[in-house]
Amino acid sequence: MLYLGWIFLWLVSRERINGFNISDCSTKKLIWTYHATSEEEFILFCDLPELQKSHFFQRSQLSPTQVPELVPCRGSKDLSNVQWYLQPQNGDPLREITRDHPSIKSALHFSTIQMNDAGSYICRPRIRSPQDDACCIKMVLEVKPKKNTSFPCFEHKHKQFLLLGSIDPIYCPSLHCQSDTQCPEVTWYQNGKLLSEKRGNPLRIGEVYNYHRGTYVCDYNQSYNTSSWIVRAVVQVETIVKNTNFKPDILEPDKDTLEVELGKPLTLNCKVRFGFEKDIKPVVRWYIKDTDQRQEVPAPEGNSSTSMLKDGVIQHILSLKEVTQRDLQRKFLCFAKNSVGSTTRSIQLKKKKGVVFIYILLGTIMTLAGMLLVSALLYTYWIEIVLLYRTYQSKDETLGDKKEYDAFVSYAKLSSLESEVTSSLSEENLALNLLPEVLENKYGYTLCLLERDVTPGGVYAEDIVSIIKKSRRGIFILSPNYVNGPSVFELQAAVNLALDDQTLKLILIKFCSFKEPASLPHLVKKALGVLPTITWRGLKSVPPNSRFWTQVRYHMPVKNSKRLTWNHLRIISRIFTRKDSVSQPLGGAPSLENGDNGPLKTSPSVLGEKRSRDVDGQNPRH
């Protein structure tokens, strides 16, 4: 199948060439004749767009022919994408050629032109409309052999260097003259673009910059009898800086010693950076010096190689098939030299240490890895480790502090109507049901709930200050209703008291997201940014073994495990001896009995303990 495809492409290409007739070319009377010297670089331009411009008139002065009245290239889309054809002088058939210049579009490039490259060259647009078949240009190229003749004036090279910042001219390599009066008018191109204002030789460009580098083409007219032709030459221009004033800089080897294994092959790199020199002749090599000899001996050439790297760096590699005991007694010298001076650097081979070093290295790595693993575990489970430690230590920070409650619970108090429509996972149910169920019934802490433990009828502000002073912790359930309602006073009072009482610590529970109002006291705003905050995550936080309850216990006071049973009994007895009970339970509050993931039920610790707030449908304290 692939073979048939190649045959098809060959037939199409052959038909395309056979269908192209030179006699149809509208410019068949406009023929430019170029002379080139063999074994030199050469470029042909396809100036189809210039046929309608003044540039064509300038070119026509170099040719004996006249400009045609009509140029049928107006329908072609891309005049820079062209096809080139060659009609050899020996009568061979017309053939298509491709020698594109890497940076100049529509140019035919010869890196070194040869005698057999002479002939008639035709170019035309590759993408054209049917009516533009006659849009093409024909050029005759004659190649002259290169002669080793001397001229009375200096012969300029095809590669010239311009010093940056200087005022250097560019000379046409094929033009030799003794004075300006003998020099013909010269047309110059830079990277394929006509320099219309530059008509002489040499080309004077003023102060040299980087953009002056590139490929320059110079054309001038010559004639003999009735014949005339264009002589063209190509010169490559590079911009350079001044020659360096420094010796070579050895990049490698960068150490004085190198550990090796006996019997193993070894490669030594001598990498050197050279400063710029126009006619640089760098020298990089390895020398070997035995300890019992005074002179260095060049390394065998068969075991070394030199390569050019970028940015003026040269690398010379010395290869040893195997390292011997004698090599350990030698010094290997990297030697580099330029026109300024020479530099050397030596390296001594040493036997690599044994397996003990490897064991020590592996042991060190494993120890570090173990320490990192332990650190990660401590960071992840630090709270659990602290709680486990508290379980087996005898210190009880609640002894002798003369405080009655382990924690005071503060939340946003809702009206009776709002309370009836509240879901089972509301902040009120968290405060009145889940916190007592877990902290009191399971872990033996004593909580203070305003509706349950404070007798109604007193002054609200005085009652709040009194119970906070009797508490070791303050638990505040934050929500939009809390920060925008009157309950925020309780947090403000606790912050003020905590500044004087070091045993009072505050715990913030972020029940849901909220925006701090502008009316929030400055002290409360500051406290929200520094106090420990625990996030409530809905149903994920309900089970007593969840991360939420672990964090709450971490911030609760440390109590002796022997006193947990007594506190538990005291809480239960206090619940059943209360005289002021309400007939309706709160209902709907999820609770886990004995820490198991069992059915949810209403906590008995808060039945009928809402301090008669349902009287008249509102809380008497707000």
Q: Decide the pairing of beta strands 137-144 and 119-125.
A: antiparallel
Cα dist from 78 to 127, 134, 328, 472, whole Å = 7, 16, 69, 87
Residue 404 annotated among the catalytic residues of the structure: no
Using DSSP's 3-state secondary structure scheme, residue 5 falls into helix
Q: Decide the pairing of beta strands 342-351 and 257-260.
A: parallel
**Identity of residue 92:** D
Written as six digits, the tokens of 276 are 């710029």
What angle, rounded to 10 degrees, do the helices at 488-498 and 460-469 form? Answer: 40
* Distance, CA of 412 to chain centre: 50
Q: Do 507 and 528 meet the contact criterion of CB atoms below 8 Å apart?
A: no
Measured CA to CA, the distance from residue 189 to residue 237 in angstroms comes to 12
Q: Do 410 and 476 meet the contact criterion of CB atoms below 8 Å apart?
A: yes
**Identity of residue 531:** L
90 phi/psi in degrees, rounded to 5: -80, 5
From 50, 428, 490, 609, the catalytic residue: 490
Closest by CA to 256, choosing from 353, 352, 349, is 349
447 phi/psi in degrees, rounded to 5: -105, 155
Q: Do 477 and 411 meet the contact criterion of CB atoms below 8 Å apart?
A: yes
Q: Do 610 and 582 meet the contact criterion of CB atoms below 8 Å apart?
A: yes
Measured CA to CA, the distance from residue 479 to residue 457 in angstroms comes to 27
DSSP 302: G
Using DSSP's 3-state secondary structure scheme, residue 160 falls into strand
Which residues carry out catalysis?
490
